[in-house]
Amino acid sequence: MARSLCCRAKTGISGRRVCTLQSSVVLRNSFRADPIGSYLCGICPVSHHLAAAKATDMIVGASTLTPTAEKIRRLMHYGQTLQSHALHFFHLCSPDLLFGFDDEVRHRNIVGVIEDSPEIAKQGVLLRKYGQEIIRVTSGKRIHGTGAIPGGVNKSLSKEEVHYLQDDVAQMIGWAQGAVELIKKVFFEQYDYHMAFARIETSMMSQIRADGAFELYHGGLRARDHVGKTIFDHIDYRNYNDYIRESVKDWSYMKFPFITSLGEENGWYRVGPLARVNNCDFITTPLAEAERKEFMAIGNGLPVQSTMGYHWARLIELLHCTEAVAELLCDNDIVGKDLRVTGELQNSGTGVIEAPRGTLFHHYEIDDQGIVEKASLIVSTTNNNQAMNESIRRVANQYLDGHRLSEALLNQVEIAIRAYDPCLSCATHAIGKMPMELNLQDENGELIDRLEKKVTGQILRTL
């Protein structure tokens, strides 16, 4: 049932040729590793690159990477998470949070933030840039880099590169702390609203380190139900097919994953920052761990189910990434020269990573010639598909009068979806900017109202 991704559809060239390119990576150990994986998405390319690299590690029989290779990949991944979370919060969310939802559409954007709060805007731009610089230094390019190869990485860091990144890291930690303070202030100013808005009670899934620590790069799978009871724990992700299945619905291009043991109806779950911060037993870096404790306190011993809690959890992760980067830059393995290992060639490989938006699965099968015959992915946003729909249902229950759509309702739907930070470009394969359309049907399926939000922000009633 796993998602089968057609290479041809994504690249415009024959699937066979694409797969041959991939296989040449596996068989010849080329330095141009995984040329396809990162092109799945222009927003989260490093996550796909690393999930693909982990799957091809298995194919070349590299069961354990060298310390240098693993730490450089981790550094790259922290860079991706940092830049993605900074982009989401400062560029997409801060206008809503700073100005409120009644602010003019013309002003409620990053340009408005630059006008009114230039210091916050500057921090957002520079935090994101710092993440991109980490990606460039570790992978060769800011977007679609090629640093990870099957069994390791293709370069280590020079001492100059380490010093270059060290110069700014303390400032980044400080700004990330400021971002967490800002989201807490906003959250507590309208506490009841933020706890109730689009709230749904769900299971949550994430990777976890063997000792229960928060983990973004590599770990077993943990799922807990809506009250925090364990569904499964420390599952070897290579066996994910035994635990996760996907269903299809005729009204969506996205699939609907669910936990097999709970069934299609009840087995859906959430992934991403909210799930990760809820699921872990502790975070390894001190500042983020202190923030995690404060965050979990609002759940009174139960998982925090607030959908708006995603924003808060995301910034705790942002803070953790800056701290973890600082630690790695002090680690001598980062400048090591032992970059890769190989073993006996296998016919399949699975790579799973905690992408900024949640758990990301890549699974490949190759034939005896090294040609990839099957590639299956479950991307992060797909894992949250049912949850996003349920949050919209909740918003409709809270704000819809049953007769007429309103601009306010359309905004609320957008806020609910934005909390999940969906990457629709890799979850739906859509191209370009997406307008939003809200249809209201009566119980007979008759269309009784429709609002459209154009990419310009203009809202039109089109019925």
State the residues that interact with Ni ion by CB under 5 A.
Answer: 41, 43-44, 423, 426
- By C-alpha distance, which of 10, 122, 5, 114 is closest to 377? 5
Q: How near is the Cβ of 44 to Ni ion at its closest, in Å?
A: 4
Work out whether strand 269-270 and strand 203-208 pair parallel, antiparallel, or are unpaired: parallel
Our CB check for Ni ion shows the closer of 38 and 411 to be 38
Q: How near is the Cβ of 167 to Ni ion at its closest, in Å?
A: 30
- Residue 102 makes CB contacts below 8 A (sequence gap 6+) with none
Q: How near is the Cβ of 255 to Ni ion at its closest, in Å?
A: 15
Q: How near is the Cβ of 258 to Ni ion at its closest, in Å?
A: 21
Q: How near is the Cβ of 355 to Ni ion at its closest, in Å?
A: 8
User: What is the SS3 string spanning 401-422?
Assistant: CCCCCCHHHHHHHHHHHHHCCC
Q: Can you tell me the distance from the alpha carbon of 17 to that of 156, in angstroms, rounded to the nearest whole number?
A: 31
Work out whether strand 447-453 and strand 436-441 pair parallel, antiparallel, or are unpaired: antiparallel
Our CB check for Ni ion shows the closer of 58 and 426 to be 426
Phi, psi torsion values for 330, nearest 5 degrees: -90, 0
DSSP assignment of 141-197: SSSS---EETTEES----HHHHHHHHHHHHHHHHHHHHHHHHHHHHHHHTHHHHHHT
Our CB check for Ni ion shows the closer of 97 and 423 to be 423
Our CB check for Ni ion shows the closer of 105 and 143 to be 143
Q: How near is the Cβ of 90 to Ni ion at its closest, in Å?
A: 19
Instruction: Tell me the CA distances in angstroms from 85 to 129, 153, 168, 276, 310, one per residue in order.
Output: 12, 25, 18, 14, 11
Please classify residue 297 by burial: count the beta carbons closer than 10 Å to its beta carbon, then call 0-12 exposed, 13-18 middle and 19+ buried: exposed
Q: Can you tell me the distance from the alpha carbon of 412 to that of 406, in angstroms, rounded to the nearest whole number?
A: 10
Our CB check for Ni ion shows the closer of 60 and 360 to be 360
Helix axes 118-139, 309-329, angle to 10 degrees: 50
Our CB check for Ni ion shows the closer of 2 and 43 to be 43
Lookup: tokens for 300: 């009174």
Q: How near is the Cβ of 43 to Ni ion at its closest, in Å?
A: 4
Is-contact 421 357, C-beta < 8 A?
yes
Our CB check for Ni ion shows the closer of 93 and 360 to be 360
The Cα angle at residue 108 between residues 107 and 110, in degrees rounded to 5: 90
Q: How near is the Cβ of 431 to Ni ion at its closest, in Å?
A: 13
Q: Can you tell me the distance from the alpha carbon of 58 to that of 51, in angstroms, rounded to the nearest whole number?
A: 11
Our CB check for Ni ion shows the closer of 411 and 425 to be 425
Q: How near is the Cβ of 114 to Ni ion at its closest, in Å?
A: 26
Our CB check for Ni ion shows the closer of 13 and 430 to be 430
